[in-house]
Every structure is written in C-alpha cells, then in structure tokens.
Amino acid sequence: GKQQAIVANVAGTTRDVNRVQVRYHSQTIELLDTAGIRRQGKQETGIEKFSVLRTMQAINEADICFLLMDVNELNVGLDQRLAGIIDEAGKGLVLVVSKWDSVEGKDAYTRDELAPQISYHFKFTPYVPLIFTSSVTGQNVAKLFDLALDIYKRRRQECKTRVLNDLLQKAVAAHPPAGLKNSHPKLRYIVQTDTAPPWFVIYGSNLKFVHWSYKRYLERTLREAFNFAGTPIKLSFRDEKQLKANRERVARGLAPVTKAYKQAKNAEKRI
C-alpha cells in the first residue's frame, strides 16, 4: 500500500497527526496516526512537546484508540498512564503489541506467555483486548479493523430499560449492597442516559453509602450482560429525591424536560 508516514525504530518518528481514510467492509474509517511518546527523560523540547499535545487532542477526537507498544521496548509505566487517559476520556481501547516480526527465536508459545504478563499491568481496564501485530508482515492488521468496527457498534448499543431493571434486581438480590446500620443503600431502578460511551444512572436512596467495590460489581454485571468489550462504561448514582424535585420543577415550568428525565420517569413506572 501507500506509505503515509515514516516507519523507524524510534518513538516520535511521526511528528504530527497523520490523517488517512480507508474503506473496509463498505465502511469508511479515518485513522489518526499520532506521534510515539517517549519516556520523560528522553523527550526533547519544542516540537516533541507539541507532538504530545497533538496526541492528547487526537485521543479526545477519536472513537477508538489503538495503544501501540513496541515489543522491543515495552514501557509499561507510560502505557498505563496513556491507557488511563483514554479510559477517563471514555474512548474505546485496544492494546496493540507492535513489531512482532522483530522478535527473534519466538515460537508458538511465546505470545501465550507474554500476553498475560502485559495484561497484568492493565488490570484497571479489564475490558480491553490485546493483540500482536506486524506492519511488515501484515499480521493481524485486518483484525484491528474488525475490532474497531465491533467496538464502534458496541459503544452505541442502546439497552432496553426493562431488561436493565430486571438485571439490576437480580444483581441486588444475588449480592445486596452493604452499608452502615440503618443506612443501607437502596437501588430502585436504572436507565441508560447516553452512548459512546454507554452511560447508566441508578436511582435510589442512601447512595452515598455505595462502596466503590459494589460499583465495580455492577459495572461488571452490565458489561457481561451486554458484552461491552473494548469500551469503558460510565455508571453514576442519583438520589430519587432529586428526580422528584426535578419533576416538580418541570411541572412548574422551571426546568426543561430532558431525555434523561423522560427515561427515569418511564423506568419508575415499569417497576
């Protein structure tokens, strides 16, 4: 194919964001090829700092990020920080171990041994797939596009309110939330308020006592039920008193009828 950027064994070879549009399975995909980011001690001033800034801007612009890790120079600390930034931005993420062709003496078991070692350092993003590629041999390059299209679709998945609330009731029954004496959280209903990334809001009472580990449990439950592979999901809690207050404000014409308000009101009727 056409060479769009310089390929070299030095991070930062691509200075600015290089935009390329490709057609794959009748879909148009725009690739934003950003500069490799080197360790802080190796960074130069001026143009390289500008490249880092452009990379951060590209993350905010993208739907899905491929985090490329040179197999010959794995820098887990830096890659962890970048993965955290991508996750916080709500973007889809794939961990890509690049230049696999350059590994000498590898056998059929090398990848199976290395993969869990890499994944261990990204336990805070357990939803992220890991893939080994080579731009020289073309290994798994097509699979990257397949993953991108699949994650793009999952990020825009809309979950039915009734199904969500059935799932919430079963999750709470199987593992009730802990709390202080006479202050146990009560989770009444859940709605999806947004997509890309999927965003869910749970209404109830005593929600300030919901432990972070229980929130992770609910996130895992949602992820497993709807297969949100490759994308973060957002989960927030709102006191049902807030919904009642909003209802009064809407009735008095002091607040607009938002999509989230309608979803919460409809969910309340169905339980």
Within-domain flag for 9: no
Q: So what's the pLDDT on residue 193? A: 94
Angstrom distance (rounded) from CA 155 to CA 167: 19
**22 or 260, which is more confident?**
22
Of the candidates 129, 155, 181, which is a domain's last residue? 155
**What's 221's domain CATH number?**
3.30.300.20
pLDDT > 90 in the chain, percent: 65
Estimate to the nearest angstrom the gap between the alpha carbon of 53 and the chain centroid. 21
Within-domain flag for 102: yes
Q: What is the total count of domains within the chain?
A: 2
113 shares its domain with 190: no
Q: So what's the pLDDT on residue 255? A: 54
34 shares its domain with 136: yes
Tens of pLDDT, residues 237-250: 999 877 666 666 65
What angle do helix axes 259-269 and 161-174 make, rounded to 10 degrees? Answer: 60
- Residue 161's contacts (CB-CB under 8 Å, 6 or more residues apart) are 190, 191, 192, 263, 266, 267, 270
Of the candidates 131, 155, 179, which is a domain's last residue? 155
Within-domain flag for 138: yes
Banded model confidence at residue 179, pLDDT cuts 50, 70, 90:
confident
Residue 133 has pLDDT above 80, yes or no: yes
Domain coverage including residue 189: 161-269
Query: Residue-wise over 24-54: b if at least 16 C-beta within 10 A, else e?
Result: eeeeebebbebbbbbeeeeeeeeebeebeeb
**What's 88's domain CATH number?**
3.40.50.300
Total number of residues shown for the chain:
271
144 shares its domain with 172: no
Of the candidates 103, 138, 155, which is a domain's last residue? 155
pTM score, whole prediction: 0.81
Residue 97 has pLDDT above 90, yes or no: yes
